[in-house]
A and B are shown apart, each in its own frame.
Chain A
Amino acid sequence: GENVEQHPSTLSVQEGDSAVIKCTYSDSASNYFPWYKQELGKRPQLIIDIRSNVGEKKDQRIAVTLNKTAKHFSLHITETQPEDSAVYFCAASHNNAGNMLTFGGGTRLMVKP
């Protein structure tokens, strides 16, 4: 089955700096790659996703890039703010419906004011 590796497991940055979280996946058939943000004690929420026919997607300060050849995708957060502090999960699945999502182990991002 699919295996998703996520790095780093923890990331500390100064407010205003950029943060990058990287994920690799094993199954070349995967074609949907979402990112979820989970604040402390809260439920995970989708922040951005990308499908395999697109190489990059941006939404304000957040961007995701996908390299299908290398089977890795990354989350980029620019101009980080304290409210960006959370655990971020990447995931991959075979189809665009989201069922059978395989999640990475998570990255705890801490933004220091």
Chain B
Amino acid sequence: NAGVTQTPKFRVLKTGQSMTLLCAQDMNHEYMYWYRQDPGMGLRLIHYSVGEGTTAKGEVPDGYNVSRLKKQNFLLGLESAAPSQTSVYFCASSYPNTGELFFGEGSRLTVL
């Protein structure tokens, strides 16, 4: 099992460009999440999904969109990137009632 896989691992964007981060999990988890990690601020939830076809806003959703068309995939989109979105992005997945989040390896995004 690969677990949770994120692509790409690194990306540099110019302000105003768009991009999509892909998260794929092979553990048949119902729940999936996108977090961003910034120094001294821990992990902050951007959006999450409790099942195929559903999405919900987390703590810091502005400037991001998500889609969960297939159970195993959770996409995070930036329509018009801003320097404030420079961060490390982590995808995670979990079963509904166990609590443990399984994280991907992270995607480092730099917006110039």
A102–B31 touching, CB < 8 Å: no
**B77 in the interface (beta carbon within 8 A):** no
Interface residues on B, range: 20 to 34
B59–A1 touching, CB < 8 Å: yes
Within the complex, which residue of A34, A44, A91, A96 is in contact with B103, where a contact is CB–CB below 8 Å?
Answer: A44
**A25 in the interface (beta carbon within 8 A):** no
CA distance A96 to B100 in the complex (A): 9
CA distance A1 to B58 in the complex (A): 11
How many contacts between A and B, using CB within 8 angstroms? 65
Chain A interface residue count, Cβ-Cβ cutoff 8 angstroms:
27
**Chain B residues touching A, majority SS:** loop
A99–B43 touching, CB < 8 Å: no
| Contact code string B37-77 (vs A, CB < 8 Å = 1, else 0) | 00011111100101000000011000000000000000000
**A64 in the interface (beta carbon within 8 A):** no
CA distance A53 to B5 in the complex (A): 34
B40–A105 touching, CB < 8 Å: yes
A98–B40 touching, CB < 8 Å: no
- Min CB distance A104 to B, Å, is 5
Q: A101-B43, A105-B40, A105-B41 are in contact. List 15 more A-B contacts (CB 8 A).
A: A4-B42, A36-B101, A44-B43, A44-B101, A45-B103, A46-B100, A49-B99, A89-B43, A91-B43, A96-B98, A98-B98, A98-B99, A98-B100, A99-B94, A103-B42
Could you jot down 30 A-B contacts, CB within 8 Å? A6-B42, A32-B99, A34-B99, A36-B101, A43-B105, A44-B90, A44-B101, A46-B101, A89-B43, A91-B43, A93-B99, A96-B97, A96-B98, A96-B99, A97-B94, A97-B98, A98-B31, A98-B94, A98-B99, A99-B31, A99-B48, A99-B50, A101-B43, A102-B45, A103-B43, A103-B44, A105-B41, A105-B42, A106-B40, A106-B42
Query: Chain A residues in contact with chain B, CB under 8 A?
Result: 1, 4, 6, 9, 32, 34, 36, 42-46, 49, 89, 91, 93, 96-106
